[in-house]
Homo-oligomer: A and B are copies of this chain.
């Protein structure tokens, strides 16, 4: 049997280790608010809730810690990381720089496939907004940026953006619910696509920056309006 083909019939295994499953569960639980920022994450409780051993739980906590989703208080143990407004702004800023970079690269490549793929994602976002399916808005937005990065083979930058994005996920879900966002969001994204279509690197860069800047502004408003009420 010669190399290239032997993968074709390879039996697909679950392949996910228990640890990875647990990791996803806990991350999701944090991201979608089941665990609130500041909540303590007691190892033995998590063992019970997840139905896995402490070893696995601890590895998961370590992993989330290095993702910035969990903070570890010395002698007190892990808690869900608090997101302060300053940090959130920085994350948006970084995303702007990287997404702008990717957008510029897409524009410079002048490939119709990229434009097509982006427009498909964009259509998905519009549909999700129309259907009021906010969770779908998030995943489609994610896929929009995913294509933006991967079409120009920037998987590392995409990884970084992803890593940062989970930390502000609850902010994201709040910003997209803002009234004007349902109109302005897709509009700004279509400006990115337009610039890419005309091969306007600088324009694409600016449009991408503008989009996250807008998101950042909304997030800041939301966050500063909420913290005092805490």
Contact = CB atoms under 8 A, between A and B. Distances in A.
Interface residues of A, number: 29
A101 B172 CA distance: 23
Interface stretch (A33-41, A54-62, A129-137, A192-200): A54-62
A120 interface: no
* Main DSSP-derived SS at the A contact region: helix
A94 interface: yes
A153 B86 CA distance: 9
A156 B97 contact: no
Given A55-B55, A59-B59, A157 B66 contact: no
A178 to B, nearest CB: 24
Contact of A59 (B62, B74, B98, B101): B62
Contacts of A13: 74
Interface string A44-69: 00000000000100110011011100
Interface of A: 13, 15, 17, 19, 55, 58-59, 62-63, 65-67, 74, 86-87, 90-91, 93-94, 97-98, 101, 153-157, 160, 164
